A and B are shown apart, each in its own frame.
Chain A
Amino acid sequence: MFKEERKETRFEWNMLGDIQAGRPNLGTTMDVAVYRLMQFTLRDVLIQKYGVKEADEIYFMAGEHAGKEFFSNLIKEKTDFNKFVLELKEVLEKLRIGIMRIEKADLENMKFTIVIAEDLDCSGLPVTDEEICTYDEGFLSGLLRSFTGAEFDVKEVDCWCSGDRVCRFSAERKD
């Protein structure tokens, strides 16, 4: 199930398991630092083995996959964009992933500016003049693609690591 060789995805939501049952004492949440420990050690190893570009691509793909699964399993609104945004915002806050805010929404041309404050991945990291939320780029891309059926270019334009206080993403439907 988890360790089979594969050329295409075999991920299923139930692979996340019954956390409540499995952790009756420690519960379903943990320290953000532990999550980041996995994120950045994994990134570290990936860069060592494959280089920065490849590592970024892997992170983006994983994020996109997560976005699609997240949409399928946790988002109920599948038709009305504004209601979808509203629900997504609530779910992201409820799961303490981040505070999502829409700065711009051009539904006609499918262009959006999305801000994630207090982002799980990067808020509070050292400022290094880098945009490092590649996983989030993929995550948003997966969500938007799942909702609209269209492919999106999602790019992080501001990041905590580049000296900003929030992560800002531009998203635009690919022609």
Chain B
Amino acid sequence: MNKDFKEDNASSSFQPGTGELVAKIEIIDRITGTIHNVLKGKKLEVIEIPADLPDNEIRQLVEYVNNFVKEYNSFSDFMYSMARGELDYSPPKSSMVVAQSFKSLQSSLRHLAYVTQRISSGDFEHKVSFMGDFSEAFNKMAQQLKDAFEKIEKQNAELKNANEIITAEKEKSEKLLLNVLPLKVAVELKESGKSEPQLFENVSVFFSDMVGFTALSSNLEPRLLISELNDIFTRFDEIMEKNSCERIKTIGDAYLSVCGMPMKNEAHAYNLVASASEIVKYLNQRNEKAEIKWKVRIGIHSGALVGGIVGVKKYIYDIFGDTINTASRMESCSEPMKINVSETTYDLVKDKFHFVDRGEIEVKGKGRMRMYFMEDGAHE
């Protein structure tokens, strides 16, 4: 700086004749400092314009620098918020290309956020377009997500279908299990995987046999024979179930059922005799219309027995004990369409039904036993 300028009080002055414009070093330093701070990443401050600065090119330069400082600071704040992912930040008004570019970037990011939200809601049709390499990458990702989602949905549908099949099959197998096992035993087996044999003290046992079955069956088509038995035993089952009795098994034309097990039932004898009575009635009614007239002998005895599952692969719930043998003897000592009960059973239900005392009859392997015919199967 020359000596003349230093002595001049004005912040800048025009040198007539030379066309030169001189400025105080302080002004130049402030402008230099501003540019220095831009390069060093420091916050910029507006340059205070001295009151004595004439309205010339130096003043204009300072004003431009100050405008730049304001836009730069606003832009810096905007950029800083963008870097933190704050997409809601209102961008500053600026015509600078750099500011406009970042504003475009913010717009693209906002749009991407919107599209991402849509895709995350399962709306995979949304795409981004005209965003250069990013469009391709993003849309590829969206397509892969869509494919994966559809694959999972397909697998879910298949799984659901398989589950429905499994559930249906399970229901079928449970139903099958119930066909061969009493409900309580089936539930026990299902829940614990085993069922222990159990002694039941008070049970009544029903035995029936078709009269003349061997002779009749030899003249019948096997299919017809099975159809007849199926029809009759299905009705037997319904009667037994209705009276809380349990069919144990059929052996050819023989039908074995119980009452009082596995669920205890104080009225076991009554229920079983009532069932027997209904069975006789049913057959009588059936025989009125049916071509083949079936007749049964029925025997009932009450006492203790053991019930349990026999077999590992083929479950059979069976009953054991002398009570069953005696019931079988009652049946063999019965007559067509008659219900023959032992004295034990009689004592349990004698007040409920009419009986005819048959006296003592010789029973194979048991000696003489008193028996009773239920009278016409009629209730009291």
Contact = CB atoms under 8 A, between A and B. Distances in A.
Interface stretch (B25-33, B125-133, B266-274): B125-133
Contacts of A168: 107
B171 interface: no
Contacts of A166: 104, 107
Interface string B76-110: 00000000000000000111000011011001101
Contacts of B100: 163-165
Interface stretch (A1-9, A19-27, A34-42, A100-108): A100-108
A82 B93 contact: no
B158 interface: no
A32 to B, nearest CB: 16
A143 B90 CA distance: 26
Contacts of A165: 100-101, 103-104
Contacts of B114: 101-105
A99 B128 CA distance: 10
Contacts of A117: 130
B118 A82 contact: yes
B293 interface: no
Interface string B129-143: 110000000000000
B160 interface: no
Interface in A80-139: 82-83, 86, 89, 93, 99, 101-105, 113, 115, 117-118, 127
A101 B127 CA distance: 10
Interface string A143-162: 00000000000000010000
Interface string B106-121: 0110110011001001
A103 to B, nearest CB: 4
Contact of A82 (B103, B111, B123): B123
B126 A86 contact: yes
A82 B93 CA distance: 31
A102 B111 contact: yes
A127 B103 CA distance: 16
A103 B107 contact: yes
18 contacts: A82-B126, A86-B123, A86-B126, A99-B129, A101-B107, A101-B108, A102-B114, A103-B110, A103-B111, A113-B110, A118-B130, A163-B93, A163-B95, A164-B100, A165-B103, A165-B104, A166-B107, A168-B107
Interface of B: 93-95, 100-101, 103-104, 107-108, 110-111, 114-115, 118, 121, 123, 125-126, 128-130
Interface of A: 82-83, 86, 89, 93, 99, 101-105, 113, 115, 117-118, 127, 158, 163-166, 168
Given A99-B130, A101-B107, 6 more contacts: A83-B123, A99-B129, A104-B114, A113-B110, A118-B130, A166-B104
